[in-house]
Structures are given as C-alpha cells and as structure tokens.
Amino acid sequence: MFQHALAQIDLFFTWQNGILWLRAMVTTLSMAALGCGLGFALACVLVYLRSWPSIALLPVRILLIAYVEIFRRIPFLVLIFLVLFGTRALGLRMPLFWIACITVTVMATAFIAEIVRAGYESVHRTQWESATVMNFGRLRTVLFVVLPQAWTVIIPPAFSYFVMFIKETSLASQVGVYELMQTGKYFNNVGISPFLAFGTCLLIYFALSYPLTRLGWHIERRLKHRFRRIAGPVLPSASVTASL
C-alpha cells in the first residue's frame, strides 16, 4: 500500500530538494506579506477617504463601498485569472509572482478595509467630537486620537487575515507561480508518491501557519490585557470571527 512512498524516501529527502522547498516557502511567505502589507496601507487610506463627511466626496464613498463589497465576494482563483489576463491585455508583461502579489493586495485591501472601519467605529463618537473641539484637523484626529485607540481592535483580525492569505496563495500555483503547492505538484509529476509530495507540502504549510496563528492569539490576549475595556459575555475570539 505505502511501499511506493517508503521506497522513495531516500530519493526524496535530499538537501537539494530541501533548498527547493525552502525557496518555495520564501516565495509563499513573501507573496502573503507583500500583498497584506500593501493591502493594509491601502485599506487605511481607503477608510480615511471614506470617513470624510463631505457631499462632494459622495461618489468616491460609493465607489469605495462598492470596491469593498465586490472584492470580498470574488474567489481568489477567479480574481488571479482576471488580474493575469487583465495585465496582459494592458500590455504589461509582469512576472507571475507580481501577478499573485497584486491579487493578494486587491483582496486584502477589501478585507482589511472592513476591519479598519470596525476599528474606527469602536472609538466612541465623543472622542471625534472632542478632537474637533480641540481644533484638530481630520488627519490629525485620525492619526493621534482614533488610530491609537482603534489599533487594538484592528491588529488581531488583520493578522489572522495575513495567516489566511498564506494558505490562500496556494491557489497562485494555478497560474504557475513557483510556491509551495507548485513544488508539491512538481514532485508529484516527476513520480514521487503523492503521500510524500503533498504530505510534505501540508506539513510545511502547517509549520508556517500554526505558529503564526498562535502568535496572533498571543497578540490578541496581550492587547486585551492592556486595554481592559471589553466587558460583557465572552464572544468567540476576534481572530476566529475574522478568519471567516
């Protein structure tokens, strides 16, 4: 039953293959990190623009809301094909790695914008008002009053989205990015047993994702401990609800 897999162990666990897996791991991590980092920055800008209460900016607000609603509802696989063929049609010959990064950015912006908005809303209205009374401008209110209070609400779910995107980028293998999943497929294609090839792949993903999930819980607990303002019933932890 498993003789096929067992016979290949010597063939499979060599240091050259180890380097191949390691490079794939770096690719996977950097796709998720770059995409989520950029997405986080863009989401902050987006929510800042959206919170601007001017009638002249109403079309911008509607556009931003539509952006968030639409891109949270398109599967990664469909979006990555759209980005791939869209950039090709525009005449941009980007490496596939950047195609995947753009896709993650587009999706992460939409997801994280929702979190940042929830963070804004967690800050009481009187805080905004008192900042206005103190003659703070919009940007200064956000930077010095709202964000310092909101980031405890923003960081834990945003972090769990980062972990989610590490797993989601496995779909980037479908356009040919050489990351973990693609490496697993490569080994399977050259005749390594699927138990070994995909099993290793599974274990590496787990080794990446699990410590980061634990780190997320740790951050969440630390933040809750420091700012004990959340009273009432114990709800499912923020990172659990956010990863949905």
Partner 1 sequence: MDYTFQWGVAFKYLPDLLGGAWVTFHLTFIGFWIGLAAAVFLAVGQTYGGRGLRRAISAYVVFFTNTPSLVTAFFIFYGLPEVGILWSPYVCILVNLILNAAAFLTDVIRGGVASVRIAEMEAAETLGFSMLQKIRYVIVPHIAKVLYAPISNLYIVFILGSALAAIFGVEELTGTAFNIASDTFRTIEIYTLAAGIYVAMTIIASTILALAGRWAFRVKARIF
Which residues are at the interface with partner 1 (CB under 8 A)? 1-2, 4-5, 65, 69-70, 73-79, 81-82, 85-86, 89-91, 167-168, 170-171, 173-174, 180-181, 184-185, 188, 193-195, 198-199, 201-202, 205-206, 209-210, 213, 233-237, 240-241, 243-244
DSSP state of 136: -
- Cβ proximity of 190 and 11 under 8 Å: no
Nearer to partner 1, 81 or 136 (CB): 81
| C-alpha neighbours within 13 Å on the C-beta side of residue 223 | 20
DSSP state of 243: T
Nearer to partner 1, 79 or 145 (CB): 79
Nearer to partner 1, 65 or 147 (CB): 65
- Least separation in angstroms between residue 90's CB and partner 1 is 6
Rg (CA), the chain: 22
Give the residue from 168, 62, 60 showing the smallest Cα distance to 111: 168
Nearer to partner 1, 8 or 127 (CB): 8
- Least separation in angstroms between residue 73's CB and partner 1 is 4
- Least separation in angstroms between residue 62's CB and partner 1 is 12
- Least separation in angstroms between residue 133's CB and partner 1 is 32
Distance (Å, rounded) from C-alpha 143 to C-alpha 166?
A: 29
- Least separation in angstroms between residue 119's CB and partner 1 is 16
Nearer to partner 1, 43 or 168 (CB): 168
- Least separation in angstroms between residue 145's CB and partner 1 is 26
Nearer to partner 1, 60 or 65 (CB): 65
- Cβ proximity of 115 and 157 under 8 Å: yes
Distance (Å, rounded) from C-alpha 108 to C-alpha 163?
A: 11
Distance (Å, rounded) from C-alpha 51 to C-alpha 28?
A: 34
> Which helix (H) or strand (E) segment is 76 a member of?
helix 76-89
